[in-house]
Amino acid sequence: MAVATRAKSSRKFWTKVTPYLLILPVVVYYAVFWLRPVFSTIVGSFRDASGAFTFENYLMVFTDPDFIPALRNTAILVVFSVTLEFLLALFLALLINRKFTGSAVFLFLAMIPMALPSVAVGAMWLTGLTSHGWINSLLYYLGVEQKIYWLAGSEWSLLALIIVIDAWTVIPSVMIILLAGLQNIPKEVEEAGYVFGGDYLTVLRKIIIPILNPTIQTAVILRLISAIQIWLVIVLLVGFSRLPVLVERIVYYHEEMSGLNISFQMASGYTIIVTAIVSIAALFYLRLSGAFGKSKEVR
Amino acid sequence: MKKYKVLLLVVIFVFSLLTACQPETIIKEVEVPGETIIEEVEVPGETIIEEVEVEVPSKTLVFSSRLFSPPREQEFFISEVIKPFEEEHGVTVDFSIIDDDTLLERAEVQQTTDHVTTDIVVAHNGRMPEWIENGWVEDLTDVVAGWDDRTFSETFSQDTNKDGKQYFLPVGADVYLLLANNKALPYLPEGVDIDAITWEEYAAWAVAIAEGEGEGKVCITGIPSKSWVYMFGGTGLSYGAGFPDINSAGAAEAWKIWETIGKADGFVPTVLNIDSCVDPMMREESWLTVFHNARAGQVFASNETQYTLAPAPSGPEGIGSIAGVSGYAVMKGSANYDLAIAFLEYLTRPDIQVKIAKGTGGFIPPVEEAIAFLGDEAIDEVINKAVLVLNNGVVSGVPAGNYQDWGAVKKCFDDIFEDTVLAGVDVTQERLDEGQACVDALLNE
Amino acid sequence: MVKKPVKFGKLIRRTIFYLFVTSLAVVILLPVYFLVSLSFLSTREAYAFPLPIAPALKIKYSMTHGERGYLLSVYDSFDGEYQTVLDTNELEKISEYMRYQLGAPMSIPEIEEQISVLESGTDPVEFSSRKNLWLNYSTFFKITRNALPALLRSLQIAAMTIIISIIIGGMAGYAFARYTFAGRDALKFSILFVRMFPGVAIALPMVIILANIGFYDRPIGLSLVYSIGSIALTIWITASIFLGIPVTLEEAAVVFGATKFQAFLRVTLPLALPGLAAAAMYTFLGAWNETVSAIILTQFNPTFSVVVYQSLLGSVGQVNLAAAGGLVMAFPSVVFTFFIRRYINQMWGGMTI
């Protein structure tokens, strides 16, 4: 009897300790390599040029004339991008999951945009969108002689353009997460839905999506975090300051306009504020989608 | 079957991981006529770095440059300029292109950790003050005094020298030239000599093209903090303004010139997206521009029969132009000081300077004796016209060192361009005063 | 009698389906097509309007006497006429021009041959020359010294990053999926912080940490930096995948005599493969394409992305060369994609209980 109890409490001990052991490497890793630089950046954001403690940096950012536009542009981009990209990625993932003949080839082709480095993406779109570029050339061959000045439009047309281009690059990466999640939904479950009289959309809504929920949450939260930090594609296409977004402001004060007395302070201030915004948005989404407070296990 | 593939993959990954964790051995193999000496520097996985120094007569010279970045120029420089030197001295020159910011960052890291690995740097004159003030480059005054067959152009001494000491040896000077697509020539106003064109005639030309084509064809770099400040600066200098003046009398007249072009919609519709006029000119999106001679030379070389090059337009005070230059310098604490000096001696010889200038797009060799070595090909024409501007024009360097951030100064100019010139409205003295305040606020204390 | 219409309808639907899928693929890949085409165009073609849909295979010339010497013209198939390009006396210049601007090298003896034909009366003399389509690529490799070592280094770094991320991240992901413990949700959320903090701000402090450990300018150093972001990503992806694998499967294996670890290895892991593959894909691409940090963190042992970036730094006026360079860099990523995709979309059906 005593042996059995000891064995049982030993097992209980391991059950309690195992998760912490599994998490330990991550925690140690981040503590060593990430925590210190981040901590010093945070501390630095509360310092002004002479090293004294101050909220001045944050004040400067909030009163920066580019702050509101950056915030607004980022918000618009995020809302439309994430929604559009998620829906299209889901569509593609469901399509490929049907495993029709040639779906492997199609998957490969659909993944190519995400494999391109930013230098290639930049060259590709710049040479396309310029007034003598390949998009206008293609239109010319199709009979449209009027050149369209893609990049010379209003801020709204630029935003729309960025959303499209970003979607093109990013959809494959969202798609593969969703596709990976779909692999574990057994066909029987799906078929059961049809047997009980559901059509495709109902099966989708009531069976597949709920089971896919953790994967959807992961895909959306990762996409959300990346989307708020968009900047490279915008700078490649229109340069700095033309369409300000949050992280573009950070890079601006860190790299492009780094010699000003206020540069370091602006960069630090923006960095912390961006982090705060991203955290709040992420928290908001996770609360909303119910990721917290449920230990979900699939039966 | 699938399992074996996965296993194979894991084996490959693990193998590569193991090879990566071995002490990294940087082996420099240097060939000396007769013997091969291997210098091994072993870096074990600890914080102690042991260097085994072997006394070798021949070395590797590390040459980091911001100049000669276009691939063709790199190719030319490596095979036509570096190779002969390597063969003559039995050394290797490790040549790489690095932009100004990274050059400075690397220098900071090397100097503060006292582990100097770069020997020669080439920096742009706008950044030279930073190099000199931080004490990261060697004083070359005595070395230069020892060379009596070459005289470095005085124009750049305010950047390359400080307190009477010379730190940088100038190379690759550039001034502004007018570049026109021959399609624009029919619109040239009657009786105007393109080689002696004035700013007013230039503006009239631009207006004529816009009216005739229904679309503006003048290129300036509309993306903030690129070259607009220099393009405008040239005009300003032609009217007697200083650089970077915004609201002085001469500058105001210069703004009027550009205002005329703006009111006639004379700029290419995509002007705000342009960060360099090379591509628009090559694509024939734009037909007329004034920009620096090496890039003008590059466009010109793409089809000499299609373009016309002329000195930059002139004003009452002459041909105004901003002149830039790059400079060779030896990194302080470099282990190969003597070899570096030998290499610099080779590079700054007048005939080599001309060779470099011709092979790399038409930069001006800033050595007075070099002019004698020019020929009569089209590229020589580019260099000749540029030299004309340099020697006879109203030239100014870039006083970037006086300001907190030169990019911000540029932006003050860009903002005025966008608000007024491009918008087609009058450039008022008020707006100019605002702009001047913007620039003055950026002065170093 | 009812069979035929049904089959016909099915055929129509299938055709429409495949048509749809194909046109979708075309739309997705149109920009890539132009990029690839651009990398094979000569400089002259790359800056022409309208841009050629496909590179020309040969160039037609016409040569006559000009002001400075010989006037060379090139035939433009779109306009249907000859356009002048060069007027010079120096044959070397003609040869160089043909090579760099037109992508159709001709040796000096060949040019001299045409000149003698010109001098002997045929004015203008017309001739053609084959294009070297791979010229941009060969130029790119010529100016990219250290290409091969840098390539191997980048592969090495990518491999190490993947291993580190999957092992450390996978373990944590499993913990989050299978166990409830104090602070689980908070910890899972805080792991995301590493992706929320804009990396550009901490790049330089990172260099100092690595230099102090002795990992500056070494592949392992870069892997450690890249792993920071990809571990977080791996944790979230694997956690969601593990949640999708019923714990009853593991329990069943245990009932049949396996240890928990064996159950994990032989039952859960294979089913989690798509998720791991997706995480590996992200990690590979992140490590492969990262340039900004790599420039700061390396000097004598650059990664491939740094080497490519340096070569293309000054490629103003040579967008075809930039395209070639970008594609060379993209190639290994595309190969990796090809290899990993079958793990993401399991071709051997879903799981049956």
CB-based contact A256 B225, cutoff 8 Å: yes
Chain A contact probe: residue of C163, C292, C345, C353 with most A CBs at under 10 A: C345
Using an 8 Å CB-CB cutoff, list chain A residues near B225. Answer: 240, 256-257
- Domain boundary residue, one of C89, C116, C132: C132
CB-based contact B272 A257, cutoff 8 Å: no
Check whether B299 has a pLDDT greater than 60.
yes
Task: Sheet containing C58-65: give its strands across.
Answer: C81-88, C70-76, C58-65, C125-130
State the smallest CA–CA distance between residue B118 and chain C in angstroms: 10
Chain A contact probe: residue of C19, C32, C251, C259 with most A CBs at under 10 A: C32
**Inter-chain CB pairs, A–C, below 8 Å:** 295
Which chains does A contact via 3+ CB–CB distances below 8 A?
Answer: B, C
Task: Name the percent of chain C lying above pLDDT 90.
Answer: 23
Task: Report, as an integer, the average pLDDT of A92-111.
Answer: 89
Residue that has been written with the tokens 């032609």 in this structure: B238
Tell me: the pLDDT tens digits for A167-208?
999 999 999 999 988 888 877 777 787 787 777 787 778 888
Rounded CA separation B269/B286 (Å)? 10
Banded pLDDT at B354 (limits 50, 70, 90): confident
Which residues 307-346 on chain C approach chain A with CB closer than 8 angstroms? 308-309, 312, 319, 322-323, 325-327, 329-330, 333-334, 336-338, 341-342, 344-346
C228 and C251, same domain (yes or no): yes
Using an 8 Å CB-CB cutoff, list chain A residues near C34. Answer: 124, 127-128, 134
State the smallest CA–CA distance between residue B390 and chain A in angstroms: 30
Asked if A132 has any chain B CB less than 8 Å from its own CB, the reply is yes
Task: Report, as an integer, the average pLDDT of A19-35.
Answer: 88
Rounded CA separation B61/B92 (Å)? 6
Q: Nearest-5° angle of CA A269, CA A274, CA A278?
A: 155
State the smallest CA–CA distance between residue C73 and chain B in angstroms: 10
The alpha-helical segments, DSSP class H, found in B80-162 are 83-89, 100-112, 128-134, 141-145, 157-160
DSSP state of C193: H
State the smallest CA–CA distance between residue A185 and chain C in angstroms: 7
A195 or B58, higher pLDDT: A195
Count how many domains chain C has: 3
Query: What count of Cα atoms within 13 Å lies in the side-chain half-sphere of residue A286?
Result: 22
C248 and C115, same domain (yes or no): no
Rounded CA separation C24/B228 (Å)? 43
Using an 8 Å CB-CB cutoff, list chain B residues near A242. Answer: 223-224, 272
CB-based contact C201 A41, cutoff 8 Å: yes
C196 and C66, same domain (yes or no): no
The domain in which residue C40 lies consists of 1-54
Banded pLDDT at B328 (limits 50, 70, 90): very high
CB-based contact B273 A238, cutoff 8 Å: yes
Q: Nearest-5° angle of CA C177, CA C179, CA C181?
A: 125
Asked if C195 has any chain B CB less than 8 Å from its own CB, the reply is no
The alpha-helical segments, DSSP class H, found in B172-268 are 199-213, 228-238, 249-263
Banded pLDDT at B356 (limits 50, 70, 90): confident
Check whether B30 has a pLDDT greater than 50.
no
Task: Report, as an integer, the average pLDDT of B251-280.
Answer: 93
Using an 8 Å CB-CB cutoff, list chain A residues near B285. Answer: 130-132
State the smallest CA–CA distance between residue B275 and chain A in angstroms: 8
Rounded CA separation B289/B230 (Å)? 12
Return phi, psi of residue B429, to 5°.
-60, -30
Alpha carbon dihedral A292, A297, B2, B5, in 10-degree steps, equals 40
C153 and C39, same domain (yes or no): no
DSSP state of C191: H
Check whether B39 has a pLDDT greater than 50.
no
State the smallest CA–CA distance between residue B183 and chain A in angstroms: 17
CB-based contact A298 C50, cutoff 8 Å: no
- Domain boundary residue, one of C110, C132, C154: C132
Tell me: the pLDDT tens digits for C95-151?
888 888 898 888 889 888 888 888 888 888 899 889 999 989 988 887 777 788 899
C215 and C106, same domain (yes or no): no
CB-based contact C175 A111, cutoff 8 Å: no
State the smallest CA–CA distance between residue B3 and chain C in angstroms: 9
Asked if C247 has any chain A CB less than 8 Å from its own CB, the reply is yes
Using an 8 Å CB-CB cutoff, list chain C residues near B13. Answer: 159-160, 162-163
C114 and C223, same domain (yes or no): no
DSSP state of B203: H
CB-based contact B282 C295, cutoff 8 Å: no
In whole angstroms, how far apart are CA C184 and each of A287, C154, C180?
Answer: 15, 35, 7
State the smallest CA–CA distance between residue C246 and chain B in angstroms: 22
Check whether B202 has a pLDDT greater than 90.
yes
If you measure CA to CA, which chain B residue comes closest to A257?
Answer: B407
C171 and C73, same domain (yes or no): no
CB-based contact A115 C31, cutoff 8 Å: no
Indicate the residue of C159, C301, C321 with minimum beta-carbon distance to B71.
C321
CB-based contact A123 C319, cutoff 8 Å: yes
Domain CATH for C168: 1.10.3720.10
pLDDT of residue A6: 66
CB-based contact A257 B223, cutoff 8 Å: no
SS3 B118: coil
Tell me: the pLDDT tens digits for B332-341?
988 889 999 9
Task: Report, as an integer, the average pLDDT of B94-113.
Answer: 84
Check whether A37 has a pLDDT greater than 80.
yes
Alpha carbon dihedral A134, A137, A139, A143, in 10-degree steps, equals -170
A221 or A4, higher pLDDT: A221
Please, which residues bridge with residue B29 across strands?
Answer: B38
State the smallest CA–CA distance between residue A266 and chain B in angstroms: 14
Rounded CA separation B250/B258 (Å)? 13
B130 or B46, higher pLDDT: B130
- Domain boundary residue, one of C82, C101, C132: C132
What is the value of ipTM here, to two decimals? Answer: 0.84
Task: Report, as an integer, the average pLDDT of C42-55.
Answer: 89
C74 and C21, same domain (yes or no): no
Indicate the residue of B223, B268, B403 with minimum beta-carbon distance to A239.
B223
CB-based contact B408 A152, cutoff 8 Å: no
Tell me: the pLDDT tens digits for B211-240?
999 999 999 999 888 899 999 999 999 999
Indicate the residue of B270, B272, B405 with minimum beta-carbon distance to A258.
B405
Banded pLDDT at B413 (limits 50, 70, 90): very high
For residue B62, what is the enclosing H or E element?
strand B60-65
Tell me: the pLDDT tens digits for A145-170?
888 898 888 889 999 999 999 999 99
Asked if C203 has any chain B CB less than 8 Å from its own CB, the reply is no
Check whether A293 has a pLDDT greater than 60.
no
pLDDT of residue B21: 44
pLDDT of residue B319: 92
Task: Report, as an integer, the average pLDDT of C59-87.
Answer: 88
Query: What count of Cα atoms within 13 Å lies in the side-chain half-sphere of residue C209?
Result: 19
Asked if A152 has any chain B CB less than 8 Å from its own CB, the reply is yes
Task: Report, as an integer, the average pLDDT of C311-339.
Answer: 86
C277 and C294, same domain (yes or no): yes
If you measure CA to CA, which chain A residue comes closest to B445?
Answer: A261
Q: Measuring CA to CA, which residue among B105, B123, B159 is closest to residue B402? A: B159
pLDDT of residue B177: 92
Tell me: the pLDDT tens digits for A240-284?
888 999 999 988 988 888 778 788 888 888 988 999 999 999 989
Q: Is B258 within 8 Å of B417 (Cβ atoms)?
A: yes
C194 and C331, same domain (yes or no): yes
Q: Is B238 within 8 Å of B232 (Cβ atoms)?
A: no
Tell me: the pLDDT tens digits for C211-231?
788 887 888 888 998 998 899
Task: Name the percent of chain B lying above pLDDT 90.
Answer: 38
Asked if C254 has any chain A CB less than 8 Å from its own CB, the reply is no
Which chains does C contact via 3+ CB–CB distances below 8 A?
Answer: A, B
C181 and C317, same domain (yes or no): yes
Chain B contact probe: residue of C310, C320, C339 with most B CBs at under 10 A: C310
Distance of CA C124 to the CA centre of its chain: 46
Q: What is the pTM of this model?
A: 0.83
Asked if B279 has any chain A CB less than 8 Å from its own CB, the reply is yes
State the smallest CA–CA distance between residue C170 and chain A in angstroms: 9
Indicate the residue of A152, A238, A256 with minimum beta-carbon distance to B407.
A256
State the smallest CA–CA distance between residue C127 and chain A in angstroms: 28
Rounded CA separation B348/A268 (Å)? 44
**Inter-chain CB pairs, A–B, below 8 Å:** 58
In whole angstroms, how far apart are CA A151 and each of A127, A136, A162, B78?
Answer: 12, 12, 10, 38
C329 and C245, same domain (yes or no): yes
Q: Is C236 within 8 Å of C172 (Cβ atoms)?
A: no
What stretches of B222-374 adopt beta strand conformation (E)? 288-292, 307-311, 314-315, 318-322, 324-330
Using an 8 Å CB-CB cutoff, list chain B residues near A236. Answer: none
Banded pLDDT at B14 (limits 50, 70, 90): low
SS3 B61: strand
